[in-house]
Chains A and B, each alone.
Chain A
Amino acid sequence: MVPSFTTRSALRLALIATAAVSMAACATKKPSYPTATVAPQTQPEPPRQPDRGVTQQTSPMNQSPTPGTERDFVVNVGDRVYFDFDSYTVRSDATALLDAQAAWLKRYPSVQVRIEGNCDEKGTREYNIALGARRANAVRDYLAAHGVESGRITTVSYGKEKPVDTGAGDEADQHNRNGHTAIVGGARMN
């Protein structure tokens, strides 16, 4: 199964992720030391803290994002491409989305991005840092080859430290093998 990133499926994935996070929060036993409380949510999550490096946002259904904003990029272009197991080859089903990312970034030349490489749990932590770095660089190289100045792009690998899908199994693993294009500056605010 190949996730396609139309607006609707992006929203659906985001909502599923939100529900999964909420359920995980309910099911998790209370840690033995203080942590921030996570309240179960039924509404779409508010935009997350920028320093968490995950920009999975939802927008009200009746309002289309303003062009040039981060939300425009996430909803109308798509900010994540997926990889095969232990692979960093850009898949053929990812090129259309990366072409659209490159076009969008050329249209808004002040935008700076960070490509975050992510891995599933089916690898050890150190190896996955290396694998995630390969994925991030594969996306960076693709965007640079399609006209985005490489000086606007930084890369980082999160290995398997920041799974976007908190479930388990093949589908969660596929979601977590990704390159995430995070806008870190220069986009219109709203």
Chain B
Amino acid sequence: MTPLRTLCRTLMLALACVLTAGLAAAPARAEIEVNVNRADVQPLPIALPAFGGGQVGADIASVIGANLQRSGLFRPLDPASFVEKNLNAAVQPRFADWKQINAQALVNGMVTVEGGRLKVDFRLWDVFSEQQLLGLQFTSSPENWRRVAHKISDAVYERLTGEKGYFDTRVVFVAESGGKGSKTKRLAIMDQDGANPSYLTNGSSIIMTPRFSSNSQEITYMELRPEGSSIYLLNLETARRESLGDFKGMVFAPRFSPDGAKVAFSVERGGNSDIFVMDLRSRTSSRLTADPSIDTSASFSPDGGRIVFNSDRSGSPQLYVMGADGSNPRRITFAAGRYTTPVWSPTGEFIAFTKQTGGEFHIGVMKADGTDERLLTSGNMDEGPAWAPNGRVLLFSRETGGGGSKLWSVDVTGRILQPMPYPGAGSDPAWSPLLN
């Protein structure tokens, strides 16, 4: 098989791209498409010349390129190889120049500032079919240029993969500093590409397990003090913070329901942990499990109807699914190993989890009924998966021998495993929904 035909097949360009290239006639529906489901997919070569309009134009193209590259589905081409220079966003590119360097897609754009507003026009081109796939304009305040770059990244990703992007998002996490045994663990937030990190707590108490609402800029997290623990709700837009309430015993493992109206959490009484759910409007809580085992780490299905959780009622930690009212708990993991921190995917199809087996920790995914388990990572200490809002990528904490905990990501095929572009020590990442 020739390289071109292999590329066409894996990228699902189908026969159309060969025909287009061969006949030089634009067919009605020739389109490049990236198949996100294939583990053996070759990243799509994409050209991202600096946008016109000075340094900010170059910076925007650079942020888009870094986003697309990290997704593992795209391969931004080296600008030094570009034949056509100084593109005019208002004029069709010289496609032959881009075909020559085998760019499958091309993004060009122009930045202008009018009346104190940043205006960014960009176009996405299918090089081999010589078609414009997107032409959009974003305006914002000039200091928000990175968000414009993330929105363009999302638009390109969605147009070429058919799925929503996840670039105009933020990640809340626990920023760690200090030596093991006396670590400061602060609540922190940053853009999904590691930019703009900032702390949300001062480090006077240990923060654990922050989680985003899937439909608002609200997070819930646990604070651990010698006197006990609290669960807080924090609205990032208003900076309003409130406690979930006072409970006898430890409270931990909070997670929002998909509509953001409820929080499931664990309450420990006399050493026994059970799962509760609180209606945030009425502030009434009800108990969902009443077993003498450890029941924790509840996570709702995206339709809100079911909850996956962690219990050691069988003698070791395993995963169970029950109705959102606590009905019909059913074990879904039976393989050897210890299963913890289940998280239902935003699409409903998968459950991600942490598994311990053979002296190693793994991040894995399985179908929601517990079948088709796939381990995506292996490490000394990998834990706490968190889904990107489109269900394609997982963040998790990785601690290697001797080093502190770092934030890593892996895509759902397990092919694209990489550290997050954040230099500090961190753990317990959680992804925001797409920003508005």
Q: A residues within 8 Å of B by Cβ?
A: 21, 24-25, 27-28, 31-33, 35-36, 38, 51-54, 86, 88, 114, 116, 121-127, 129-131, 133-134, 136-138, 141, 154-159, 161-166, 168, 182, 184
Contacts and interface: CB of A to CB of B under 8 A. Distances in A.
Contacts of A25: 179
Given A137-B271, A157-B268, A129 B253 contact: yes
B226 A51 contact: yes
A165 B250 CA distance: 24
Interface stretch (B14-22, B34-42, B165-173, B422-430): B422-430
Given A123-B340, A124-B383, A131 B181 contact: no
Nearest to A38: B179
Given A35-B178, A127-B297, A129-B208, 15 more contacts: A25-B179, A28-B404, A31-B178, A33-B424, A35-B177, A125-B427, A126-B209, A126-B253, A126-B340, A129-B229, A133-B268, A156-B226, A165-B181, A182-B226, A184-B226
Contacts of A116: 226
26 contacts: A21-B179, A21-B182, A24-B180, A31-B177, A33-B175, A33-B177, A52-B182, A86-B316, A88-B271, A116-B226, A124-B383, A125-B384, A127-B296, A127-B341, A129-B224, A130-B266, A133-B250, A134-B272, A137-B270, A137-B271, A154-B227, A156-B226, A156-B228, A156-B229, A168-B402, A182-B226
A165 B423 CA distance: 26
A20 to B, nearest CB: 8
B184 interface: yes
Contacts of A163: 180-181
Instruction: List the 3 closest A-B pairs by CB distance, nearest first.
Output: A137-B271, A130-B273, A124-B340
Contacts, number: 132
B30 interface: no
A130 B423 CA distance: 31
B384 A127 contact: no
Nearest to A133: B268
Contacts of B341: 124, 126-127
B271 A136 contact: yes
B260 interface: no
Main secondary structure of the interface of B (DSSP, over half): strand
A77 B255 CA distance: 42
Contacts of A129: 208, 224, 229, 250, 252-253, 266, 268, 273, 296
Nearest to A168: B401
B180 A127 contact: no
B337 interface: no
B184 A35 contact: yes
Nearest to B382: A124
Nearest to B249: A133
Contacts of B381: 121
A2 B400 CA distance: 28
A156 B250 contact: yes
Main secondary structure of the interface of A (DSSP, over half): mixed
Residue in A52, A116, A127, A131 with the greatest tally of chain B CB atoms within 10 Å: A127
B354 interface: yes
Given A32-B423, A124-B340, A124-B354, A131 B178 contact: no
Contacts of B266: 126, 129-130
Contacts of A130: 252, 266, 268, 273, 294, 296
A52 B225 CA distance: 9
A157 to B, nearest CB: 6
A130 B425 CA distance: 25
B316 to A, nearest CB: 7
A5 to B, nearest CB: 20
A125 B180 contact: no
B310 A126 contact: yes
A80 B338 CA distance: 27
Nearest to A20: B181
B356 interface: yes
A35 B185 CA distance: 12
A180 B246 CA distance: 25
